[in-house]
Chain A
């Protein structure tokens, strides 16, 4: 197994290199100029200086190499230094990826905004899982019952209606009409008292519910299918014939086997927490990673966009690997050697 993980990690390196180059090249070859938004009165020699200060006078492959070294070597070393106090090499002269818009290190911006994303989107992912699993179990156990039919329809609805519509409808109903929850997510709110805690919960209810509903509708379909696949297998009949109670058959024998594909699906879904948050954060004005990306795109802040996009790509590749490894660990029929 360890051999397999190492082999996969090594195989991920060229994939990530290709992806990083694609991301860098798309942004770099595009006909856009960071000095394009400056006033017309700025003379061309000043523009040239600005371009030099941004490092744009160097050829592309050198800038790609520099960016990659900053991303892969310098920034991890910085994180190591800040979190554990371990200093490796020359910490003073280490160059960092700087945002063109704020002139501050991109990683700092990302670290600043990650908690909001994790709280809102991560929590909804968790709730989605917790809702989807029991619903899927009951649906499969009572296949073609009224509950199953309603559940299938609601799942189809949740799967088809985009979150930017359910979210806006939730705002119309619960903020504009009923005035129960605030329309805009206030990230400056600090939880210092019970009142502030209630406010925080109130402003989280809508985004979390909307996203959780979307996640649950996708997962419950898979959960139902996974249980149905297992219900008619021989081992279930064996468990019943040796006199185990129906609940034990379902909750111990069937559930454990059905969860194998679900666990991998969940692992594959985790990177979408970060990428898919873009739309939800835009609806409810949560200033998380998704909003950072949108702002950076609109402001043509190329280094921020490159770094964020590559970070998303790393997460996808990493969780693909984790999903495969989990599958091998949970299902003894699969051996990777």
Chain B
């Protein structure tokens, strides 16, 4: 049986099936920064979600005898002014920060793609939807985010409980205010793709409109969507930590990296490490995500791929 496989001549191996994604992966591997970014991001995600049971310290446990400690065996990153273990808080905060970043980016991605496809595909909606995008781009976003959080914080807390309420509020607000660039890019690509011959061919054999969108247009605009989704994660993490840094994000008993940084700034003379660690992790996450986005952009660009 095996004799057949050994007798295949090299020319046949060369024409083995190469899908677009193997090509993309080949190109992506060449981008060293992006590859390092994938490893760093994977490390952070695994550490944050697998770390807590291994470390085994409750992030909200208070120990007044162990205040403002430096790094030691029981507390690898030291403790804060009321004896919270910094490592445990960092891991718990990382879960929230990453969850906020990923879900807000997802909301922005869905909204942006939906609005972009509708504007590009349905002619009568193009004008109104793009005006809406312009209005959103002209809004001073950070002030509005701050104001909305201040105003709606208590209502949502009362409705969904203190933790879920503030999470939904912040994720929703960041998502609703960061879809505009995706929408513009998607609309532009849809406009150019829907005039191509293969779309006309699909129409001519009687394909329905929604099937044209899902089968023919969306797969062709996947690369800009993926790139802007990656960059959206970085943007959402930065926005969330900026809000927390201004004191209008997550409450102190439900910390994120931004909140930990904010709480640490009052103690920079005593325990500077309380500022350094959250900051380093925000920076590393955003940097790795940005590098992944950079690599994806190169890998998904067919003009660069295969060179």
**A137 touches B (CB below 8 Å):** no
For B154, list chain A residues within 8 Å (CB).
31
Are B238 and A168 in contact (CB-based, < 8 A)?
no
Closest to B143 in A: A309
Are A313 and B287 in contact (CB-based, < 8 A)?
no
Are B241 and A164 in contact (CB-based, < 8 A)?
yes
For A320, list chain B residues within 8 Å (CB).
138
**Chain A interface mostly:** helix
Q: How far is the CB of A303 from chain B (nearest CB, A)?
A: 13
Contact size range, B: 35 or more
> Bound state CA distance, A312 and B142, in angstroms?
10
For B275, list chain A residues within 8 Å (CB).
165, 168-169, 172
Closest to A306 in B: B147
B138, B143, B265, B282: the one within 8 Å of A308 (CB): B143
Q: How far is the CB of B280 from chain A (nearest CB, A)?
A: 8
Q: How far is the CB of A162 from chain B (nearest CB, A)?
A: 5
Interface residues of B in 117-155 (CB under 8 A from A): 131, 134-135, 137-144, 146-148, 150-152, 154-155
Closest to B275 in A: A168
Are B138 and A294 in contact (CB-based, < 8 A)?
no
For A64, list chain B residues within 8 Å (CB).
none
Closest to A175 in B: B268
Q: How far is the CB of B97 from chain A (nearest CB, A)?
A: 12
For B138, list chain A residues within 8 Å (CB).
15, 19, 313, 316-317, 320
Number of residue pairs spanning A and B whose beta carbons lie under 8 angstroms apart? 125
For A157, list chain B residues within 8 Å (CB).
283, 287
With contacts A164-B242, A165-B279, A278-B143 taken as known, whether A156 is within 8 angstroms of B287 at the C-beta atoms is yes
Contact size range, A: 35 or more
Are B242 and A279 in contact (CB-based, < 8 A)?
yes
25 A-B pairs with CB atoms under 8 Å apart are A18-B135, A19-B138, A26-B151, A30-B148, A30-B151, A160-B283, A162-B238, A162-B241, A162-B242, A164-B261, A168-B261, A168-B265, A176-B269, A271-B140, A275-B141, A276-B142, A278-B143, A279-B142, A279-B246, A293-B146, A294-B246, A297-B150, A309-B147, A313-B139, A313-B140
Task: Known A-B contacts: A162-B286, A169-B275, A313-B138. Give 8 more (CB < 8 A).
Answer: A26-B147, A31-B155, A156-B33, A161-B282, A162-B279, A171-B268, A297-B150, A312-B143
